[in-house]
Amino acid sequence: MGKSQKESAEQQRGRQEIRDQTSSPGLFPILTAPLQHSSQHPLHPRGALLSANAKGVKQEEMASVRSLMCIQGDKNLQSMAAGTMMRKVKSRSWKKQRYFKLEEDGMTIWYNSRKAGNDHSTFSVSDVESVREGHQSEVLQSIADEFPADRCLTLVFRGRRGNLDLVAETAEEAQAWIKGMRKLIENLENMGQKERLEQWIWDLFRKADKNKDGRMNFKEIQDLLKMMNMDMNELHALRLFKTADKSQSGTLEDDEFVLFYKMLTQRGDVLEVLQEYSGDGQKLTLRDLEDFLCEEQLEGERSHTHAQELIDHYEPSETAKMLQAMSIDGFLMYLSSPEGSIFNPCHQGVYQDMTQPLCHYFISSSHNTYLMEDQLLGHSSVEGYIRALKRGCRCVELDCWDGPNGEPVVYHGHTLTSKILFKDVIIALESYAFKASKYPVILSIENHCSVEQQRVMVQHLVTILGDKLLKTTLDSTVPECLPSPQELMGKILIKGKKIGESGENPNEAAEESLSGEVSDDDEVDEDGSHTGSPGHRGKSSKHHLSRELSDFVVYCNNVQFVSFEHSRLHSKFNEISSLSESKARKLTRSAGAEFVQHNVRQLTRVYPGALRTDSSNLNPQEMWNVGCQIVALNFQTPGLEMDLNDGLFSQNGQCGYVLKPEFLRRREKRFDPENPRDREGYQPVSLVIQVISGQQLPKANMKEGAIIDPLVRVEIYGVPLDQAKQETRHIDNNGFNPVWNDTLQFTLHAPELALVRFVVEDYDKATKNDFVGQYTLPFMCIQQGYRHVPLLSRDGTSIPPSSLFVHVRITERDVRSDED
């Protein structure tokens, strides 16, 4: 046989291998690989499972093998797996003994009461964001005199779940849990897409294996299908079960369960896309993939080099790589990756110009940052600041009042909300201000303190923050405009009232009226009600301002808003006005174009009105439409408003600063959000979204046997003319792999301001639909073509592997036809 004949035979064998691997269309490569080789990660449970199978270990011995593999070579994990008695602490008076241990899967923490053996709880390591060591929580600080720091630790959970404060019996045991948890968290963070899905499958197996014998009978499989949000015909389920039961034992063991799952997760929708561009219907050659990237994903000239990069990165078959081809598994791996996400990965880092004045940016901002709950009785906590800052918030609020022992406190004045020390807040700011973002943080201070305690505030600011605190203008020069985020990197700015700069009030304390000038709490809503603390409404008082604190107000001098004309004639660039939502809303509707021009020159802060005692939020979009930079929201309250905030600030490296569109930054251009067609350069666009399918949607509620009837609604938030909602039909009894193939179409007149929100709900004809998941992103960050939309929970945390599969196309509309 000649050389060319040999090459031809090798190519034929390679093509046959690809055909063999793609005989079950649309399966994740994770599910084709486990039968041949195990995961290489030493902590990965499936790796232990398959390694044990390779050695011929019996099923009933698998649990112990997995446990050994999970803790192999790590004394801290061994200690966690053995179990530890620790005190769970909720307050100085509530401390209970609990027994904690790492379960055999290496992913679950189990704990119970010493007395109640059957009363136990569990949580996943994936729910834990970080581990703090020592007295790094308010609860543990309160018992610092009782338990030394080296025995204390705090588990910080994702989302809005409260922290878990623990005290170990010895410093050694505390260190074992601190180091062990950090290793498990690091392991999870380093998991690839393949391993994450594998972990999810293994968790399902473990939950459905009721008798823990390492195998699944048909009844357990039926329960599993319901757990997976799927109501499958019993005969069809039985056929799949028998097909997967290669050993004909009446149960599914490890690899048989993988095969069963492979059959469940066939992605016909993705196979159809591949076949449209494939020459043989089974794979994409390099040229096929280039055509797909160019024609569907609209990558243009980049498609040639990118096609080869995708094959090298995502194709699991070495033979396919040799042939410069992509199998269905590699294709699905690409589409399910960040590169195949609807969010443009080029916008994930800081990509915007950060050298423009502060007033040219939207700034992620928090209202009543100290509150964890409502505005009347809620708990105040330093944790509120930590959580907000870690989410990229760049403007936090401190309501400061005189406290006992000469120490100022932060709380919602004249209410029953609890109090925290101003000093503790500043300590937290020093530690967390620049962990998520290097760009400046603004402290919006509502100052109700006496001069004496204001001086204490100054002392804490100087002593704790040091050089991070901005005390004078940059380079000590007289500026003519606000500095940029780039120039202010690593700096903390004070927003507050400033003593007149013309030389009046030379004394160390200056008397100022509180009739609406000093703090946000003294604004008056349009209905005449006072917007401050409920117990403070309608009151007027005299207030003394410390010269030292006043001097720290450099670029954010809080002044009362009078009118746009007054601001145009008299305001300085470093002045900022705070407006209640009702006042701001009236201005946006009566003088939107003037509001835009006002915000080109200086900063505006908008905050929720006084009637929102439940810590509900205003819709920030209306304020962003006129260029308001600081729209303060209650970060502790999930919902649409926080989804929009998270969506807007998901771009630009999640740094908390987003450059406003060009038409909101230029003095010489006029933009009125009520009439977007009138702006220079007006170009409407058409957005067409085909909602194709859903993957592994979560349950709306955890009732046993409950299966959702999902529908998808796409919502557009932007200027009034762009506000729109459309939804698909609902699919009965299938949250696992529903298929819609419904097309939704929108016209956007100011796309630069638009946010697109995908919402999945459980349809109910008798009552309000239940929330299932959502994802919000800026229109300008959308990637066109076939894309996956990752879903988030109500509190904004990810819920993998839940997603939607969509096709997006954006085209410019003819301006003349749009006007008609």
In this predicted model, what pLDDT tens digit does every residue of 96-117 receive, in sequence order? 999 999 988 788 899 986 555 5
Known binder of ligand: residue 578?
yes
Known binder of ligand: residue 88?
yes
Q: pLDDT confidence of 207, banded at 50, 70, 90?
A: confident
pLDDT value for 542: 55
Q: Say what the pTM is.
A: 0.86
Known binder of ligand: residue 740?
no
Known binder of ligand: residue 521?
no
Q: pLDDT confidence of 704, banded at 50, 70, 90?
A: low
pLDDT value for 38: 31
Lookup: tokens for 776: 């919000």
Strands 575-580 and 556-558: parallel
Is the preceding omega at residue 801 within 30 degrees of 0, hence cis? yes
Q: Is 120 labeled as catalytic in the residue annotation?
A: no
Q: Whole-angstrom Cα distance, residue 188 to residue 207?
A: 20
Alpha helices (H) in 517-639, listed in sequence order: 547-551, 564-570, 581-590, 592-601, 621-624
CA atoms within 13 A on the CB side of 361: 26
Known binder of ligand: residue 11?
no
Alpha helices (H) in 28-156, listed in sequence order: 45-54, 62-71, 75-82, 138-142
Q: Of all residues in the chain, what percent carry a pLDDT higher than 90?
A: 67
Q: Who has greater pLDDT, 49 or 774? A: 774
Known binder of ligand: residue 399?
yes
The answer, yes or no, to whether residue 681 has pLDDT greater than 80, is: yes
Q: pLDDT confidence of 181, banded at 50, 70, 90?
A: very high
The answer, yes or no, to whether residue 816 has pLDDT greater than 70, is: no
- Sign (positive/negative) of CA torsion 527, 530, 533, 536? negative
In this structure, which amino acid lies at residue 422? F
pLDDT value for 119: 73
Known binder of ligand: residue 108?
yes
137: Cβ–Cβ under 8 A, 6 or more apart, which residues?
A: 154, 163, 165, 383
Contact 225, 237 (CB under 8 A): yes
Q: Whole-angstrom Cα distance, residue 689 to residue 241?
A: 36
Least Cα distance to 578 among 599, 600, 602, 607 occurs for 607
Rounded to the nearest integer, the mean pLDDT of the chain is 85
Known binder of ligand: residue 520?
no
Q: Who has greater pLDDT, 16 or 202? A: 202
The answer, yes or no, to whether residue 539 has pLDDT greater than 70, is: no
Burial class of 503 by CB neighbour count within 10 A (0 to 12, 13 to 18, 19+): exposed
Contact 738, 697 (CB under 8 A): yes
Helix axes 62-71, 75-82, angle to 10 degrees: 140
pLDDT value for 699: 87
pLDDT value for 703: 66
Alpha helices (H) in 591-662, listed in sequence order: 592-601, 621-624, 640-648
**Mean pLDDT comparison of 506-515, 695-704, 736-745, highest-scoring range:** 736-745
Least Cα distance to 203 among 164, 261, 139 occurs for 261
Report residue 59: phi and psi, to 5°: -60, -45
In this structure, which amino acid lies at residue 186? E
**String of DSSP letters for 559-591:** -----HHHHHHH--TTEEEEEEHHHHHHHHHHS
Known binder of ligand: residue 497?
yes
Q: Please report, to the nearest 10 degrees, the dihedral formed by the alpha carbons of residues 584, 586, 592, 597 taken in order.
A: -40
* Range name among 515-519, 567-571, 630-634 with the lowest pLDDT average: 515-519
* Range name among 42-46, 124-128, 615-619 with the lowest pLDDT average: 42-46
E strand map for 700-784: 710-717, 724-727, 739-748, 755-762, 770-778
Segment 323-371, tens digit of pLDDT: 999 999 999 999 999 999 999 999 999 999 999 999 999 999 999 999 9
Contact 160, 638 (CB under 8 A): yes
Structural domains of the chain ordered from first start: 28-69+192-264 (1.10.238.10), 83-189 (2.30.29.30), 358-664 (3.20.20.190), 682-819 (2.60.40.150)
In this structure, which amino acid lies at residue 677? R
pLDDT value for 59: 38
Burial class of 130 by CB neighbour count within 10 A (0 to 12, 13 to 18, 19+): middle
* Count of beta carbons in the 10 Å neighbourhood of residue 186: 11
Known binder of ligand: residue 334?
no
Known binder of ligand: residue 537?
no
Burial class of 686 by CB neighbour count within 10 A (0 to 12, 13 to 18, 19+): middle
Q: Whole-angstrom Cα distance, residue 212 to residue 673?
A: 61
Known binder of ligand: residue 692?
no
294 three-class SS? helix
**Mean pLDDT comparison of 227-231, 479-483, 563-567, highest-scoring range:** 563-567
Known binder of ligand: residue 707?
yes
Q: Whole-angstrom Cα distance, residue 561 to residue 474?
A: 26
Least Cα distance to 805 among 272, 233, 23, 192 occurs for 272
Chain Cα centroid distance, residue 208: 30
Tokens 């400061």 map to which residue?
400
pLDDT value for 527: 42
Q: Who has greater pLDDT, 415 or 515? A: 415
Known binder of ligand: residue 22?
no
Contact 112, 96 (CB under 8 A): no
Active-site residue, from 135, 360, 367, 530: 367
| CA-to-CA separations, 247 to 210, 244, 252, 451, in angstroms, rounded | 21, 9, 8, 82
Least Cα distance to 162 among 414, 452, 381 occurs for 381
Q: Whole-angstrom Cα distance, residue 820 to residue 806?
A: 31
pLDDT value for 613: 86
The answer, yes or no, to whether residue 687 has pLDDT greater than 70, is: yes
Q: pLDDT confidence of 591, banded at 50, 70, 90?
A: very high
Q: Whole-angstrom Cα distance, residue 596 to residue 598?
A: 5
Averaged pLDDT, 218-241: 89
Known binder of ligand: residue 111?
yes
Least Cα distance to 514 among 547, 494, 536 occurs for 536
The answer, yes or no, to whether residue 52 has pLDDT greater than 90, is: no
Lookup: tokens for 768: 């309000």
Contact 385, 396 (CB under 8 A): yes
Known binder of ligand: residue 211?
no
Known binder of ligand: residue 203?
no
Q: Whole-angstrom Cα distance, residue 640 to residue 647?
A: 10
* Count of beta carbons in the 10 Å neighbourhood of residue 134: 17
pLDDT value for 9: 52
Active-site residue, from 44, 347, 360, 412: 412
Averaged pLDDT, 157-177: 93
Least Cα distance to 412 among 492, 570, 532, 271 occurs for 532
Known binder of ligand: residue 387?
no
- In our burial notation (b when 16+ CB lie closer than 10 A, e otherwise), range 542-556 reads ebbbbbbbbebbbbb
Known binder of ligand: residue 187?
no
Contact 202, 46 (CB under 8 A): yes
pLDDT value for 523: 43
* Range name among 78-82, 461-465, 594-598 with the lowest pLDDT average: 78-82
The answer, yes or no, to whether residue 278 has pLDDT greater than 80, is: yes
Containing H/E element for 208? helix 193-208
The answer, yes or no, to whether residue 800 has pLDDT greater than 50, is: yes
445: Cβ–Cβ under 8 A, 6 or more apart, which residues?
A: 397, 398, 400, 494, 495, 496
Segment 58-85, tens digit of pLDDT: 333 343 344 445 566 789 999 999 999 9
* Range name among 404-408, 516-520, 788-792 with the lowest pLDDT average: 516-520
Contact 275, 281 (CB under 8 A): yes
Q: Is 313 labeled as catalytic in the residue annotation?
A: no
Rg (CA), the chain: 30
